């Protein structure tokens, strides 16, 4: 039985006084993959940002818990150490910090004092994970994301996910800008990590990623709320027919809830490797 339980209840969040999330409810258990789809500007990336503690987003109501612990009471680094992970749509480039140094520091920050991972064990694990993701071994020694192509940055996000072994993985449009080969590699990395000890929340616009990662649940977000949930067949209908049928069915006008930020920008440090 899974020992992972991630619950969002009645979550509301605003930016500069404008409400973006208007009451989001979702529950993810270990072994489950949940996909969130929806038109632009409906709150999908805002949800990821609010969960991870982006300072621009003010949570005004609701709760987020991970295995019974109050996530909203945690600082950003505490959320990362507790097992929350965000694969970003626009990963930052950090000059002067190599991929290897960054990841080893992040791993050690989650371990107890005196139990740091040995250099040899770390290198073996990183080389094995890089090989599975078709990442050039030289990238271990390159500065974090600097000079990487879009596909390389996304694969690097999955590499970090594999190395950090989180409990809840949030993937914010990880498929954007990927060609079909890179998409398959990223999907394979996600599928290999699927287990009862881990849950996934995948934010995407397109069915194509879900052709390679089979979700257990698909949720549609509009106007800051989840308005419809179903199985993989819901994503397929959205791919075929778009969102207009659902808007008409629910009586939703064609408008967005607000302008979402394009990037998840937070100060980088070794205890919060995803920000």
For residue 177, tell me if it sits in a domain. yes
Structural domain of residue 173, as residue ranges? 5-89+167-250
Domains of the chain: total: 1
Question: Is 12 among the domain residues?
Answer: yes
| pLDDT at residue 142, rounded to an integer | 95
- For position 208, what pLDDT does the model report? 87
The model carries a pTM of 0.88
* The predicted structure's pLDDT at residue 88: 86
DSSP string computed for 37-70: E--TTSSHHHHHHHHHT-TTPEEEEEEEEETTEE
pLDDT at 269 over 60: no
Residue 49 lies in a domain: yes
Could you read off the pLDDT of 82-138 as tens digits, one per residue? 999 999 888 889 999 999 999 999 999 888 777 899 999 999 999 999 998 889 889
Confidence tier at 2 by pLDDT (50, 70, 90) = low
Asked whether residue 209 is domain-assigned, the answer is yes
Residue 275 domain-assigned (yes or no): no
Would 230 be classed as within a structural domain?
yes
pLDDT exceeding 90 applies to what percent of the chain?
69
Cβ-contact 27, 6 below 8 angstroms:
yes
pLDDT tens readout for residues 127-171: 999 998 889 889 999 999 999 888 889 899 999 999 999 999 999
210/219 Cα distance (integer angstroms): 13
Q: What is the pLDDT of residue 252?
A: 83
- 218 falls within a domain: yes
Segment 34-50, tens digit of pLDDT? 999 998 888 999 999 99
Residue 48 lies in a domain: yes
Domain containing 32 — which CATH number? 3.40.50.300
Helix (H) / strand (E) element for 15: namely strand 5-15
């Amino acid at each position: 039985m899974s020992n992972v339980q991630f619950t969002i209840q009645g979550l509301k969040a605003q930016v500069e006084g404008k409400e973006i999330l208007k009451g989001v409810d979702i529950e993810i258990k270990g072994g489950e993959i949940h996909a969130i789809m929806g038109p632009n500007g409906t709150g999908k990336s805002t949800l990821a940002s609010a969960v991870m503690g982006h300072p621009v987003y003010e949570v005004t109501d609701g709760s987020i818990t991970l295995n019974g612990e109050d996530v909203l009471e945690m600082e950003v680094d505490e959320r990362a150490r507790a097992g929350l992970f965000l694969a970003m749509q626009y990963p930052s480039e950090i000059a002067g910090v190599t991929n290897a140094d960054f990841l080893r520091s992040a791993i050690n920050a989650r371990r107890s004092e005196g139990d740091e991972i040995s250099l040899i064990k770390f290198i073996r694990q990183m080389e094995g994970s890089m090989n599975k993701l078709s990442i050039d071994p030289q990238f271990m020694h390159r500065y974090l994301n600097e000079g990487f192509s879009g596909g390389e940055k996304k694969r690097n996000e999955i590499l970090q996910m594999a190395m950090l072994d989180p409990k809840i993985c949030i993937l914010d449009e990880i498929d954007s800008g990927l060609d079909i080969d890179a998409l398959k590699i990223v999907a394979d990395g996600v599928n290999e990590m699927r287990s009862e000890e881990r849950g996934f929340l995948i934010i995407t616009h397109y069915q194509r990623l879900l052709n390679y990662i089979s979700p257990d649940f698909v949720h549609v977000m509009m106007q800051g709320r989840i308005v419809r949930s179903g199985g993989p067949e819901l994503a397929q209908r959205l791919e075929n027919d778009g969102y207009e049928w659902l808007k008409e069915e629910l009586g939703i006008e064609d408008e967005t809830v607000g302008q979402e930020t394009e990037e998840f920008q937070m100060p980088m440090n070794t205890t919060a490797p995803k920000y």
